[in-house]
Structure 1
Amino acid sequence: MIPNAADVAASLHASRRALRVAPWKIVLAYALVAVVWIFATNLIITALGLPESSYTLRIAVFVLFTALGIWWYTRRLADGVMRSQKLVGRAENSYRMLFDRHPAPMWLFDKRTLSIVRGNRQAVAAYGYSTEEFAQLEVLDLYAAHERERLEALAPPATPQQLAGLRQHVARDGRELNVEVLCSALDVDESPFALLMAQDVSAHFQTETQLAGNLRKLELARRVARMGHWQRLPGSEQVDWSPEMADVLGVANVRALSWTAFLDCLHPDDRPAVAAAHEQAERHASLAHEFRVLGAGGEQRWMFERIQLLGGRQRALFGVLMDVTELKAADSNLADEKRRYERMVDGLPDGVLMLRQGRIHYANAAARRLLAGDPLQPLNAQPFLDFVAEHQRAREAARLEALQRGVAGGQPQRLLLVCRDGRPFEAEVTETLLPAGGDAEVQLLIRDVSQAEQLRRDLEEANQRLQHLSQRLIEVQEIERREVARDLHDDVGQHLTGLKLHLQRLIRRQAGDSEFERLSQPLVAGVDAALAKVRSLSLSLHPLQLETLGLEAAVRWHLQHFLEASGTNWALEVRGSTTEIPPGRAVAAFRLVQEAVNNVARHARARTVRILMVCDEHELRLEILDDGCGFDVPDALQGAQSLGLTSMHERVASFGGDLRISSLPGMGTRITALLPAPND
């Protein structure tokens, strides 16, 4: 049964706790055992009257047990460190998988040169580049010309903070992308790299642009609105019109227009209301109203009129008339745009909140569903901090206050939010300050990432199980190879040796019989060939030199056995001592060389193979270089015949190492494997 991630972590913690012993305690225990051993053996030798050589034997036994104790302790220490390195390697693979599968465009780049190191699939697809082309770009190559000029004018190179914010990027085909750039420096172990994520907000920009355009149209309509004034005595038919009223009312001779003729120009439904409004203005001295005017072609135009009763000896009505047709149309369009914008925001899958003084005054359907549990339940006037987990409220309150003062930026953060029914969920919250008159508003974009986090944990656990299974399969394979090699050598080899001895004995007894000797010689040669084949198979499955003479001798035997017969020249260079390499790591290194040499002999058609083996206190490094025909590495890894390459990757990954294969058709192949030392 494969243990899960919790079992592996518990076992690693237990092994580390068992090895966490202070050095002075070990020395003190060793000294006490030595003193007890000396006094006890002295008493026994004196009491039994043993010879003087017993003292020498006593020392030899003590030294033997000391060596066994040191070997046992160092073996336990090495096993604990190896398990720790395996877990670290698995975690790195899990995060690499999450990076590649993240739905937003992301890439790593060098902070010093701004060169892109690697981009995920979404980044490559969003910007229209191939994987190789994307890795050859610089970060500033993706910015629009005006953005790039501004960033290049800064003290080079631009920092991750200067790259972040709302930016305009350009795709490979020239498309402009409005993106929100989130940039973070990776400060782990003083890493020179940074991570950048670009979220496409073009749809939001387009809506805001249309809204701004409508506002400009509305302002223009107000500026160019036609208006004029008039004056008449109460109850009089004669009206004193200003010259502008001809354009407002659309008549040729406005001076000849009487009060009754003016009423005839109005919409029939509005005539009684306008007459009543003028009578009311005579009583109340002031009035404002709207009505419709009919043009010569029957078109309707809206008018706004303000009437004022002027005092004095002779009172008169004074009115200002303004054509508001375009203004009302702009207001209608603005209202339609506002309704469309609200419907679009309300239909977003992420929650959107508007805060004023910490209280919610707008929430879209997704936000109501996340926080209230029902998209129909209102959230207005409720403090946002009521939905933040209690242990994070103080920090979030300080963050909102700093944002309103303009101190903090709108970088995404993870918060634990609590629904109205008490159900907690993890969310990614992006806060943006929106100036609104004299009172600033805070816009919150809330994205539920609880399912994504659970998926990440499930992927990490599944990856750990697969890594454990792969390591276990490799161990079982080595055990089976060792057993098969032993059976070939001990059983089949011994039977063939016995058969050869019987044939030789029979030949000696039939000495002088030429016909018998002629017939028996092929049998002896066949037995010799079978013995050689069995011995070769046994050594290929598990070379005895690896256990007796070490890694270097086993590699030399394999190179000589497999390459010299094919006429391939080879050279082995060893730097450092390989005698101290642990057995498991030595077997892994030998299998890497064995698989690489077999591929060279079968497929590469190489004339020369060079192998460099460097062993120091930090790592074991293998380099295998041939001048063969080469191959396409990605195609080989994806093909059905790549079990050998997959096995090499799995062996290196099980020790927390790194394997790199560089090859081009017709240019040869270079394989580099790094196996960290147990104490590294």
Structure 2
Amino acid sequence: METPLSEDTARKLDIGYRLLFEKSPLPMWVYDVQTLGMLAVNDAALAQYGYSKQAFVGLSVLDLHPPDEAAQAQQHLQLASGEPVTQTLWRHRLANGDLIDVEVVTEYVELDGIQARLALVRDLTAQQRAKQQLQEEHQTLAAVLDSTTDAIISITVEGLIKVFNPGAERIFGYSRERMLGQNMALLLPERYRAEHPQQLRSFADSGATSHMMGMGVVKGLRADGQELDLEGTLSQVIVHQERRLIACLRDVTERARSQAKFRQSRAQLSELTQRLMTQEKTLVKQLAKTLHDQLGQTLAAVRMAHETIQAVQPKDTPVAVQRQQAQLGKLVGHAIQQVRQVLVDLRPPLLEDQGLVAALDNELRNRSLTQPQIDFSIDVPPEIEPMRWPGEVEYAAFMVAREALENALRHANASAIAVRLVGTQQSLQLQVSDNGVGIPAGAAVPSGHLGVFGMHERAQAIGATVTVGAGEGRGTCVSFYWQPEPDSDSEWGAL
């Protein structure tokens, strides 16, 4: 049998409940079930909604709802008086007209003989906005995944596919339904599948957020058995406390084929250029030998015969004849000098016997004799002087230097030309610079210039490069650089 509460105890309990209502940090109010008018409100509700106590008590519950929800709210509030009412989400209007999202829980109470409900309100505005923003972000992400032409594949560390976007369907030829739950190894050529699990695990354990797959291009396999060339990056993220790997792949099969054809064409062109250079050297040697052994010897014999005729001719030879003979002697001497110069131009002195350094030094000395007003200089570190490089490299470097010197003399109006040579047994760098008029800022070297074109072709034929640009401060600098190409692996690797 329950013991009835004393009047004093009941009064204290009533005071306690009122204090709990008034001082609660959550907005609360009491309204009449029949009229929906407000009967009481706590300080938290007044602070939240921005009303005075007198104004709030004069409101109806429906006044807190925006007009478009008033009918729905009224229908919801017309429930059995003894039944608790919970609505997960309502919109309430503040005194200043702003709307907030709230959760309202009500409980039946009797207040001074009036059937009423006690409402407890929780503001969910920030939570709802965050949820809406998250939904928008998810929708945006889904739209990106659906619209991109690249393959986006999300997998577990074990390689099981969790996301397979339309781009992946197009590239690999599998449907999303077919691939979800499958191992990504299915998208690899057979020869790469055994190592794939360890590669995934190693990347996951590395702690790196992302890295480029393979050497920038990897191999994939279509549903029809066709191998693909793909550019790809692999990233790792945490989704619902689970590590996921994200593969982003782009199909570059056609581009790779075009590049392979270009490399093949370039190799063929380089081989042809090398053959032409070899033929050029052979022809030059043959021509130089002919000039030296035949034409040179013939001119020497003509000079000897002319000198013999001059020695045995009578003293009373007419003056006119003597003048003609003297002129003939000058012409023969001039022809011999021309042959010697042609021999120098055709076959670089000292190049084959003493190497590139000696040949360049000799070339500059000869140039200084014909162009004494120009300051020619050569800078070669002592350790480089005895060094030799492959014959075709030295020949190409010398011919590039000679062409650069000729261009500087003809077009630069320079007062100084410097040659610098550095390198090792496995590299060679040659620079020819002048202090002439130079290349105007922003101007490009004419692609049709045969001298520049010839330098590029000679360099490319041996795997070297030539650049022509502005010098330091003024003038033009021609740079030749050679280094043997490293052996490359024909396979690119897998996903």
Query: Does the alignment reach a TM-score above 0.5?
Result: yes
TM-score range normalised by the length of the shorter chain: 0.5 to 0.7
Q: Which amino acid is the alignment partner of residue 193 of structure 2?
A: R
Q: Which residue of 2 aligns with 1:427?
A: 230
Q: Could you tell me which of 354, 368, 371 is aligned with 2:169?
A: 368
Q: Is the 8 A contact 1:630 1:663 kept in 2?
A: no
Counterparts of 2:383 and 2:227, CA distance in 1: 58
**Residues 668, 348 of structure 1: CA spacing in aligned structure 2 closer, same or farther, 3 A cutoff?**
closer
Structure with more of its chain in helix, by fraction: 1
Q: Could you tell me which of 560, 564, 588 is aligned with 2:369?
A: 564
Counterparts of 1:675 and 1:272, CA distance in 2: 84
Counterparts of 1:581 and 1:305, CA distance in 2: 88
Deviation (angstroms), 1:514: 1.6
Counterparts of 1:639 and 1:369, CA distance in 2: 45
Q: Is the 8 A contact 2:404 2:432 kept in 1?
A: no
Q: Is the 8 A contact 1:281 1:309 kept in 2?
A: no
Aligned pairs for 1:243-642 (under 5 A) are 243-244=42-43, 245=45, 248=49, 253=54, 257=58, 261-263=60-62, 270=69, 273-282=72-81, 285-288=84-87, 290=89, 304-308=103-107, 317-322=117-122, 331-355=131-155, 358-372=159-173, 380-401=180-201, 410-414=210-214, 415-486=218-289, 488-489=291-292, 512-543=316-347, 562-567=367-372, 591=399, 629=435, 632=438, 638-639=445-446
Moved more, 500-509 or 536-545: 500-509
Higher radius of gyration, 1 or 2 = 2
Deviation (angstroms), 1:273: 4.3
**Residues 356, 307 of structure 1: CA spacing in aligned structure 2 closer, same or farther, 3 A cutoff?**
farther
Deviation (angstroms), 1:425: 1.7
Q: Which amino acid is the alignment partner of residue 335 of structure 2?
A: L
Q: Which residue of 1 aligns with 2:492?
A: none
SS in 1 for 2:198: helix
SS in 2 for 1:512: coil
**Residues 230, 542 of structure 1: CA spacing in aligned structure 2 closer, same or farther, 3 A cutoff?**
same
**Residues 511, 371 of structure 1: CA spacing in aligned structure 2 closer, same or farther, 3 A cutoff?**
same
Deviation (angstroms), 1:306: 2.5
**Residues 305, 379 of structure 1: CA spacing in aligned structure 2 closer, same or farther, 3 A cutoff?**
farther
Counterparts of 1:409 and 1:325, CA distance in 2: 35
Counterparts of 2:406 and 2:81, CA distance in 1: 111
Deviation (angstroms), 1:278: 4.0
Q: Is the 8 A contact 1:637 1:645 kept in 2?
A: no
Deviation (angstroms), 1:413: 1.6
**Residues 284, 432 of structure 1: CA spacing in aligned structure 2 closer, same or farther, 3 A cutoff?**
farther
**Residues 654, 633 of structure 1: CA spacing in aligned structure 2 closer, same or farther, 3 A cutoff?**
farther
Deviation (angstroms), 1:528: 1.6
**Residues 350, 526 of structure 1: CA spacing in aligned structure 2 closer, same or farther, 3 A cutoff?**
same
**Alpha-carbon displacement from aligned partner over 1:303-347 (angstroms, at most 9, x marks no partner):** 543334579xx9975433456567656654554444334334544
SS in 2 for 1:564: helix
Counterparts of 2:169 and 2:35, CA distance in 1: 62
Deviation (angstroms), 1:291: 5.1
Q: Which amino acid is the alignment partner of residue 469 of structure 1?
A: L
Q: Is the 8 A contact 1:559 1:570 kept in 2?
A: yes
SS in 2 for 1:524: helix
Q: Which amino acid is the alignment partner of residue 362 of structure 1?
A: V
Counterparts of 1:321 and 1:560, CA distance in 2: 99
Percent identity of paired positions between Structure 1 and Structure 2: 16
Deviation (angstroms), 1:430: 3.0
Q: Is the 8 A contact 2:351 2:358 kept in 1?
A: no
SS in 1 for 2:229: strand
Q: Which amino acid is the alignment partner of residue 30 of structure 2?
A: W
Q: Which amino acid is the alignment partner of residue 198 of structure 2?
A: A
Q: Which residue of 1 aligns with 2:22?
A: none
User: TM-score, length-normalised on structure 1?
Assistant: 0.48
**Residues 598, 372 of structure 1: CA spacing in aligned structure 2 closer, same or farther, 3 A cutoff?**
closer
SS in 1 for 2:154: strand
Counterparts of 2:390 and 2:245, CA distance in 1: 61
Q: Is the 8 A contact 2:26 2:120 kept in 1?
A: no
Q: Which amino acid is the alignment partner of residue 366 of structure 1?
A: G
User: TM-score, length-normalised on structure 2?
Assistant: 0.62
**Residues 382, 523 of structure 1: CA spacing in aligned structure 2 closer, same or farther, 3 A cutoff?**
same
**Residues 633, 467 of structure 1: CA spacing in aligned structure 2 closer, same or farther, 3 A cutoff?**
farther
SS in 2 for 1:638: coil
**Alpha-carbon displacement from aligned partner over 1:588-638 (angstroms, at most 9, x marks no partner):** 676567557756766676689899999x9x589898999x74675899993
Higher relative contact order (CA 8 A, sep 6+): 2
Deviation (angstroms), 1:418: 2.4
Q: Which residue of 2 aligns with 1:51?
A: none
SS in 1 for 2:250: strand
Counterparts of 2:472 and 2:448, CA distance in 1: 18
**Alpha-carbon displacement from aligned partner over 1:348-373 (angstroms, at most 9, x marks no partner):** 45333334575444344433332346
Q: Is the 8 A contact 1:658 1:675 kept in 2?
A: no
Counterparts of 1:509 and 1:427, CA distance in 2: 89
Q: Which amino acid is the alignment partner of residue 142 of structure 2?
A: E
Q: Is the 8 A contact 1:492 1:534 kept in 2?
A: no
Counterparts of 1:302 and 1:576, CA distance in 2: 81
Counterparts of 1:622 and 1:327, CA distance in 2: 66
Aligned pair count? 443
Q: Which amino acid is the alignment partner of residue 42 of structure 2?
A: P
Counterparts of 1:520 and 1:227, CA distance in 2: 129
Counterparts of 1:298 and 1:553, CA distance in 2: 93
Deviation (angstroms), 1:539: 1.8
Counterparts of 2:36 and 2:370, CA distance in 1: 125
**Residues 411, 585 of structure 1: CA spacing in aligned structure 2 closer, same or farther, 3 A cutoff?**
closer
Counterparts of 1:653 and 1:370, CA distance in 2: 37
Q: Is the 8 A contact 1:471 1:654 kept in 2?
A: yes
Q: Which amino acid is the alignment partner of residue 307 of structure 1?
A: T
Moved more, 469-478 or 349-358: 349-358
Gaps of 5+ in 1: 1-224
Q: Is the 8 A contact 2:404 2:478 kept in 1?
A: no
Counterparts of 1:264 and 1:599, CA distance in 2: 92
